[in-house]
Amino acid sequence: MTQRLLAALAGEPVSPPPVWVMRQAGRYLPEYREVRSRHGFQEVVTTPALAAEVTMQPIRRFDMDGAVIFADIMTPLEAMGVEMTFDPGPKLEPWALRDVANLPELAPDRIAHVGETVRMVKEEVPEHTSVIGFAGAPVTLLAYLLEGGGAKDFMSLRAALRSDPGAAAEALSKLARAMNGYLSLQAEAGADVVQLFDTWAGLLDRHLYNELAVPPARESLEGLSVPTIYFAPGAGHTLDLQAGVGATGYGVDWRIPIEDAFNSLPGHAIQGNLDPAVLRTDPDTIRRDVKDLLTRVGGRPGHIVNLGHGIDRRTPPEHVSVLVEAVRS
């Protein structure tokens, strides 16, 4: 049976288009909250049976076209010896560029649980559902390492990239090699497609983005055996430069007219781009906005319906059902 997500990434006409949602396995689902009432976040991530169960929850409920593996973008960094806690985001001691460059190589046996999660999900998903692996892009991972956790503007990252671009490039290349290995492991375990999340690359100006974000993102995706998606929210000012990453498809956020994304990245699949706030409205508004999105896409091949960022934890699950039904009707 044809996987609609893979067909769209290959540029084939798919009607209606495939649909999945970033962070679709998570806190807005009561069945996820039930699992988390008994198990800590890191326990779920590192226990394949639990991670697979959480991954499958939105597939059972909504029959999404993609099952994105439940993990965290920091998971491979923990396997490289970076100590952190989650509360709920990552908390760690800030690192220096040289220390990041000197991190040990990623040992596959330390992330074997992710590969096992992929295998378990692959065995359970319907044939038409694509298994989606993912990783954090090097610039985004470096942002957390230098800052010691989340931040509004990641000033430490932006200062470091400007003050010592040579050391930054070395640190980013180390992270790129690790993410390439991490994505390769997921593909070998059965992932049908992988996505690279560059959550904070949009904070960079065009010059820094092109010089220091594009090369390690490209290195992260090079030579993989499956189609790839690159997603950098808040980076609409770099849209034309993103082609340098070499992904099969590109995700875009809700601030960019989706037709602009198709025009800026010709020959590539485009994923998006409903505002996650749409799912906090009402069924009529959701149906209207889905119809508007599909009208603006105009039947172009290579469209994957998704939100322009992760689903909000306060989203009523029934609104996700409305979204899926609206796309497929």
CA distance 144 to 156: 9
Q: At 5, is the pLDDT very low, low, confident or very high (cuts 50, 70, 90)?
A: very high
Question: What is residue 292's predicted lDDT score, i.e. its pLDDT?
Answer: 98
Residue 104 CB neighbours (<10 A): 11
pLDDT at 139 over 90: yes
Chain mean pLDDT for the chain: 96
Q: Is residue 9 part of a domain?
A: no
pLDDT at 255 over 90: yes
Mean pLDDT, to the nearest integer, of 124-148?
A: 97
Q: pLDDT tens, 116-133? A: 999 999 999 999 999 999
Residues near 27 by beta carbon (within 8 Å), at least 6 away in sequence: 33, 36, 313
CA distance 146 to 32: 31
CA distance 75 to 38: 21
Question: What is residue 3's predicted lDDT score, i.e. its pLDDT?
Answer: 97
Predicted model pTM: 0.97
Q: pLDDT tens, 18-70? A: 999 999 999 999 999 999 999 999 999 999 999 999 999 999 999 999 999 99
Bridge partners for 229 per DSSP: 195, 249
Contacts by residues 279-285 (CB-CB < 8 Å, ≥ 24 positions apart): 279/307, 279/311, 279/312, 279/315, 279/316, 279/319, 279/320, 279/323, 280/312, 280/314, 280/315, 280/319, 281/319, 283/319, 283/322
Q: Is residue 8 part of a domain?
A: no
Q: Which domain holds residue 132?
A: 20-270
CA distance 175 to 153: 21
| Contact predicate 37/27, CB 8 Å | no
Q: Which residue type occupies 267?
A: G
Q: Is residue 13 part of a domain?
A: no
The residue among 185, 39, 62 whose CA lies nearest residue 125 is: 62
CA distance 265 to 256: 13
Question: What is residue 85's predicted lDDT score, i.e. its pLDDT?
Answer: 85
**In percent, how much of the chain has pLDDT > 90?**
94
Q: Is residue 323 part of a domain?
A: no
Greatest distance between any 2 Cα atoms in the chain: 53
pLDDT at 1 over 80: no
The residue among 180, 172, 179 whose CA lies nearest residue 224 is: 180
Bridge partners for 249 per DSSP: 229, 269
Q: How does strand 66-68 pair with strand 228-231?
A: unpaired
CA distance 176 to 141: 10
**Residue 136, CA distances (Å) to 35, 153, 158, 231, 268 in order:** 25, 18, 18, 10, 21
Q: Is residue 154 part of a domain?
A: yes
Q: Is residue 3 part of a domain?
A: no
Residues near 238 by beta carbon (within 8 Å), at least 6 away in sequence: 201, 202, 204, 206, 209, 210, 213, 232
Question: What is residue 256's predicted lDDT score, i.e. its pLDDT?
Answer: 94
Tally of structural domains, the chain: 1
List the CATH number of the domain containing 83: 3.20.20.210
Q: pLDDT tens, 152-181? A: 899 999 999 999 999 999 999 999 999 999
Question: Taking each helix axis from N to C terminus, what angle separates 155-163 and 138-147, rounded to the nearest 10 degrees?
Answer: 110
Q: pLDDT tens, 190-228? A: 999 999 999 999 999 999 999 999 999 999 999 999 999
CA distance 180 to 317: 34
| Contact predicate 133/191, CB 8 Å | yes
Instruction: Provide the annotated active-site residues.
Output: 23, 27, 36, 72, 144
Q: At 90, is the pLDDT very low, low, confident or very high (cuts 50, 70, 90)?
A: confident
Q: Is residue 304 part of a domain?
A: no
Q: Is residue 301 part of a domain?
A: no
| Contact predicate 42/86, CB 8 Å | yes
